[in-house]
Chain A
């Protein structure tokens, strides 16, 4: 896969030291704890981790879409130099669906069942570009054509239940592209789809983001997807970024035992047949009851004393081809 040239000037999106906590019956649970992420214009960054690692919460906090029980404790989310966490509701609404748009995991439930597809796709165009309904619907038809939905004109008047899961995700992509955003956040966009449809949707997303020059924050737990579609990768574990690097460097020289474990647990077609599939021993940690040191320590094969007492910081890694390669591990200095 060819990579788009990354803009070397100021980053498009910079998340600095973001912490998000949820009030729950069991007390305050910190779902994201001091996360740092940088995304340049036109770049595709994959945010990888198990369920509950905080990747979706990170994504939702960018657009301020967290629920009422969530609170951003500290940190900054700079988008084109502007801190999204400091914006008032109105200003944030001006960015949502306009300069940053989002695609969700569940195409079956992410579209409103009682509104026409045309209306739902045209809505952001009308809202952010001040078009009339007929103009916005014309554009919506063009967008449906771009995401390869046949008979787009006729489809405008139909409802979500007339569409299959893959087609609905195409509609979601059309909606996300409507105002030519600078950044598209895709939160596990293919997890709910058939395997054959998954590849089509990701190809489409990749092609369209390249054509429009939008950056893509791709949230996934699928390392196969990462290798094919992302230029940079950030690995999340228990609310913290544990490693970030270019996709090439991460696969070639992983610098965190969790990343190594993740890669070893991907089944391979080229490897020895009937080889035992490796798994990471133990369970993902309970966010309400994290160990004092490195959250991965209880499951880590290379754990030593330091790991159990001190949280490792995300630092430049050595022995790698990528000079921006960072990892948070006492064992890989």
Chain B
């Protein structure tokens, strides 16, 4: 088990290296460049100034040299400084990451607590009105983009009832209740969006599992339907569902970028969006590094859960 963990953690290194290479290269391919933006804002336009700014920001070196410099820093925990604010990227990430993590976690909880019960219900009441309602609901959630729902939630309540979702961020540890009141609306929208696929998968897997011979054995023992479904069937049905939830992690982060913008949540998504607009390369690299590590860790967690759910793939 420990050997497995160490092996898996070591395997993260080449993956991250490759990902960072792509991010670093792709950023430089975005049209427009940070110096132009800065000069336009500061109203300076001589070539002399341009060279000076480039040199000051370390952008005069060739791209591969910049990459190696950045990588060397990253290995020692120094992710560079923001080109605009001149604050360390690491401290910007430290401030925003927990907020996005909270949003993602809340969305995931919403997604699971909606998808699993409805998926199970839909499967054991196959082809009833309830099943059709659940499946229609999931289709709608699948089809409607969350930024659209987010905008509706912002606009319509304020028009109809003169109420709009709170938009002032309070740190969780300062005032949990106010914090949750703010975070819950985007978390529910994001959670419902990704719950659709999970629900469908849960339903399909439960239908499949309920047909198995061992379910008949469980019933032949005299177990109640509740135990048959929740103990004997669910654990078998969950195995692919957990994999799916792991694969949804990038969707959560992508969705957070948009919803943080709409609901003014000062998280990593908002940081990333601003950094992309301003071509703030070190910040973009930092955000991608952190999300990359996050996604890989989530996948590792999924694999561990998989082993816990299914003794046949348990790691010795």
Contacts and interface: CB of A to CB of B under 8 A. Distances in A.
A97 B221 contact: yes
A299 interface: no
Contact of B310 (A65, A109, A113): A113
Given A112-B236, A113-B236, A97 B220 contact: yes
Contact of A161 (B214, B216, B232, B312): B312
Q: Size band of the B side of the interface?
A: 20 to 34
A123 B213 contact: no
A175 B221 contact: yes
A124 B219 CA distance: 11
A95 B219 CA distance: 11
Q: Among the interface residues A63, A97, A106, which one has the most CB atoms of the partner chain B within 10 A? A: A97
A128 interface: yes
Q: Size band of the A side of the interface?
A: 20 to 34
B212 A109 contact: yes
B175 to A, nearest CB: 43
Contacts of B217: 104, 110-112, 172, 175
B215 to A, nearest CB: 8
A24 B216 CA distance: 21
Given A112-B232, A115-B232, A63 B220 contact: yes
Contacts of A65: 216, 219-220
A96 B219 contact: yes
B289 interface: no
Interface in A118-155: 123-124, 127-128
A175 B224 CA distance: 17
A110 B213 contact: yes
Contacts of B311: 113-114, 159, 161
A86 interface: no
Q: Among the interface residues A110, A112, A127, which one has the most CB atoms of the partner chain B within 10 A? A: A112
Interface of B: prevailing SS: helix
Contacts of A124: 221-222
A64 to B, nearest CB: 9
A87 to B, nearest CB: 12
B154 to A, nearest CB: 45
Interface string A77-100: 000000000000000011111100
Contacts of A97: 220-223
Nearest to B221: A97
B224 A93 contact: yes
A307 B205 CA distance: 49
B309 interface: yes
A159 B312 contact: yes
Contacts of B28: none
B242 to A, nearest CB: 13
Nearest to A108: B213
Contacts of A96: 219-222
Contacts of A246: none
A78 to B, nearest CB: 19
Contacts of A175: 217, 221
Nearest to B218: A112
B11 to A, nearest CB: 27
Nearest to B314: A159
A142 B181 CA distance: 56
Interface in B229-243: 231-232, 235-236
Nearest to B215: A112
A93 B213 contact: no
A58 interface: no
Q: Among the interface residues B219, B235, B310, which one has the most CB atoms of the partner chain A within 10 A? A: B219
Contacts of B224: 93
Contacts of A94: 222
Nearest to B235: A114
Nearest to B231: A115
- Give 7 closest A-B pairs by Cβ, nearest first: A97-B221, A96-B222, A97-B222, A109-B213, A112-B214, A159-B311, A93-B222
Given A97-B221, A113-B214, 9 more contacts: A65-B220, A96-B220, A97-B220, A112-B214, A114-B235, A114-B236, A114-B309, A115-B231, A161-B311
17 contacts: A65-B216, A96-B219, A96-B221, A96-B222, A97-B221, A101-B221, A104-B213, A104-B216, A109-B214, A110-B213, A110-B214, A110-B216, A110-B217, A112-B218, A112-B236, A115-B232, A123-B223
